[in-house]
Amino acid sequence: MAQRLLLTIMFLVAITTLACHRSGDSSHAVPELSGTTATVRSNADLENAVNAKLRADEQLRSAELGVSANAANSEITLSGSVESEALRSKAVNLAKGVDSGVTVKDQIEVKPTGRAADTAFGSRDRHG
């Protein structure tokens, strides 16, 4: 009888612990502290989050972009180059979407590759 009571108590404690842990997930979430000086994310966290978004985008994954973050100031700096103004805007918007209240410093240069022009010039050099 004592063994059965002990097993029942252990079972109830396990279920209660599991239920408390699951229901408490949302209450343990880190609140967003936009506009405060508290650092919720580290520099590396912000940089990794932006890089993951850039890599996930088919058009931007091959772009030569640098990402640096200052989590204390909620700032992300994007640098490097892309082929068009549209890709530049897309990169900035993806970075802004990483965390509410983040400021993105856009230092991206637009450098059209001119693949068609390169091909044309290359063929001229060979023929002329």
Per-residue pLDDT of the chain (128 residues; tens, 9 = 90+): 777 776 677 766 666 665 655 544 444 443 344 444 444 579 999 999 999 999 999 999 999 899 999 999 999 999 999 999 999 999 999 999 998 889 999 999 999 886 544 433 444 444 44
The pLDDT of residue 19:
61
* pTM reported for the whole predicted model: 0.58
**How far, rounded to the nearest angstrom, does the alpha carbon of residue 8 sit from its chain's CA centroid?**
46
The pLDDT of residue 10:
72
Q: How far apart are CA 64 and CA 71, in angstroms?
A: 23
Q: For the chain, how far is it from start to end, CA to CA, in angstroms? A: 100
The pLDDT of residue 8:
76
The pLDDT of residue 53:
95
Instruction: Given CATH 3.40.50.10860, say whether it is the number of domain 43-117.
Output: no
What are the two backbone dihedrals, phi and then psi, of residue 81, each rounded to the nearest 5 degrees? -145, 150
Could you tell me which of 45, 50, 75 has the C-alpha nearest to residue 63?
50
Domain ranges of the chain: 43-117
